[in-house]
């Protein structure tokens, strides 16, 4: 057998332009790398989104999984619209429908869901009004050619109202997009005000991304909308399963008619192989566990308040958080990376977040807490950051 030819693209016209981009990133201190393997090294991990600690505890649930779902296939071999095996998907959507009181539709990821749903809603006559800090997955959907959109100042319903007034008479429908818990600052959306605006403007649809609220807020962990008693006021509620859900995938909860529409119009659902049934079965089990994890949710909340209180005087802006995500803003990419390296040397993993994930000046460490941490861990983290 002949040796495969090795492509050497270090100095090549084909790669030069891309190399120049990498050089720029390096100069600006925002070059990304895939990190080394660090799991199982006993580090305190504040980088992940395993908010309830379910992913870390998965060993405990393997037996039950094997007993109930052990036969589930490792592949769907087709898009959801063509797959012959529908039972596990339908069962899980049924579980979600029972919890949320409205139909649910599974997607392969939150990225797919946000991209696919925004594209599907972008009929002529639709105007999107998004909070300035919504996630890249929704922004990528809105960036497609021909989409009309405007942005309101982060968490400012007064500004949103002005935009609604501006577009109400012109647009056929106005889709307002916000996250319940913002992924970088951990601050909470003014859901009550958004719901009140929805009452006022009959052609406004409210679309809430609960990626960081699912599992963490609400008596049953259904999200911030559950906690605030607003589930019935949200037209499309999207939640991801790769965070507190300890799995992968996402779902949207909506009306029956909108679900039917998305099945016909959400391209990532139609044109991508569905998640493996084995994975959906795991999501089913994890969701059942989540509904009973009130104690963990309370503990997580206490840890977050403790960390925020501890960092109050340290000047990192941690007080803006209202959740398990606590920012420690350095305002400079290099400072954030240096601080992350220093913490790692002391056994604490925290992500340095830089442009374009956050706007210039918002560079920070993102401290993402989980229910397996103790008060002692929090005090240790606080002390290290204050140093
Ligand atoms: C707010 C928000 N929405 C959507 C996503 C995308 O979800 P997924 O990781 O399932 O693609 C993420 C995270 O990655 C997120 O933070």
CA of 343 to the centre of ligand 1 (A): 26
pLDDT tens string 287-311? 999 999 999 999 999 999 999 999 9
Nearest-CA residue for ligand 1 atom 9 is 110
Residues contacting ligand 1 via CB (< 6 Å)? 109-111, 114, 135, 137, 179, 183, 209, 211, 240, 242, 250
Pocket test for ligand 1, best of 50, 51, 111, 249 (most atoms within 8 A of CB): 111
CA of 238 to the centre of ligand 1 (A): 10
Match domain 71-291 to its CATH number in 3.40.50.300, 2.30.30.40, 3.40.640.10, 3.40.50.10280.
3.40.640.10
- Which residue has better confidence, 296 or 361? 296
Domain assignments of the chain as residue spans, ordered by start: 40-53+293-386, 71-291
Mean pLDDT, residues 53-64:
97
Prediction pTM value? 0.94
Nearest-CA residue for ligand 1 atom 7 is 110
Confidence label for 386 from pLDDT (cuts 50, 70 and 90): confident
CA of 115 to the centre of ligand 1 (A): 11
Q: Which of 306, 302, 326, 304 is nearest to 316 (CA)?
A: 326
Bond before 356 cis per omega within 30 degrees: yes
User: What is the H or E stretch that residue 97 is in?
Assistant: helix 87-100
Identify the CATH class of 40-53+293-386: alpha beta
* Residue 272 near residue 282 (C-beta atoms within 8 A): no
CA of 212 to the centre of ligand 1 (A): 8
Q: Give the model's pLDDT for residue 85.
A: 87
pLDDT tens string 192-206? 999 999 999 999 999
Q: What are 303's strand-pairing partners?
A: none
Q: Which of 288, 261, 248 is nearest to 64 (CA)?
A: 288
pLDDT tens string 148-179? 999 999 999 999 999 999 999 999 999 999 99
Q: Give the model's pLDDT for residue 354.
A: 86
Q: Give the model's pLDDT for residue 35.
A: 84
Q: Give the model's pLDDT for residue 46.
A: 95
Q: Give the model's pLDDT for residue 1.
A: 57
Q: How far is CA 373 from CA 153, 217, 330, 381, 385, in A?
A: 34, 18, 24, 11, 17
């Amino acid at each position: 057998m002949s040796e495969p030819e090795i492509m050497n693209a270090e100095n090549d016209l084909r790669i030069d332009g891309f190399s120049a981009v990498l050089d720029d990133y390096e100069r600006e201190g925002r070059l990304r790398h895939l990190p080394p393997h660090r799991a199982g090294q006993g580090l305190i991990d504040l980088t992940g989104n395993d908010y309830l600690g379910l992913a870390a505890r998965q060993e405990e649930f393997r037996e039950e999984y094997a007993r109930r779902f052990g036969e589930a296939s490792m592949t769907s071999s087709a898009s959801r619209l063509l797959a012959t095996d529908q039972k596990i998907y339908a069962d899980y959507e049924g579980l979600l429908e029972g919890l949320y009181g409205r139909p649910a539709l599974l997607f392969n990821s939150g990225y797919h869901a946000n991209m696919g749903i925004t594209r599907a809603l972008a009929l002529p006559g639709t105007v999107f009004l998004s909070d300035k800090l919504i996630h890249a997955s929704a922004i990528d959907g809105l960036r497609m050619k021909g989409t009309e959109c405007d942005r309101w100042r982060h968490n400012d319903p007064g500004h949103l109202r002005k935009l609604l007034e501006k577009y109400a008479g012109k647009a056929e429908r106005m889709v307002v997009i916000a996250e319940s818990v913002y992924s970088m600052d951990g601050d909470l959306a003014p859901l009550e005000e958004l719901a009140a605006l929805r009452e006022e403007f009959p052609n406004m649809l409210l679309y809430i991304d609960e990626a960081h609220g699912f599992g963490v807020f609400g008596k049953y962990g259904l999200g911030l909308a559950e906690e605030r008693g607003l589930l019935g006021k949200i037209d499309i509620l999207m939640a991801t399963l790769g965070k507190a859900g300890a799995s992968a995938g996402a779902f949207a909860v909506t009306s029956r008619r909108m679900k039917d529409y998305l099945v016909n119009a959400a391209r990532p659902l139609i044109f991508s192989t569905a998640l493996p049934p084995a994975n959906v079965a795991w999501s089913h089990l994890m969701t059942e566990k989540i509904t009973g994890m009130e104690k963990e949710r309370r503990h997580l909340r206490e840890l977050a308040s403790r960390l925020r209180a501890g960092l109050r005087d340290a000047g990192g802006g941690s007080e803006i958080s209202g959740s398990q995500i606590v920012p420690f803003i350095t305002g400079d990419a290099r400072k954030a990376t240096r601080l992350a390296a220093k913490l790692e040397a002391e056994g604490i993993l925290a992500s340095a977040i830089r442009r374009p994930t956050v706007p210039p000046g918002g560079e920070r460490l993102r401290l993402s807490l989980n229910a397996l941490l103790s008060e002692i861990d929090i005090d240790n983290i606080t002390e290290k950051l204050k140093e």
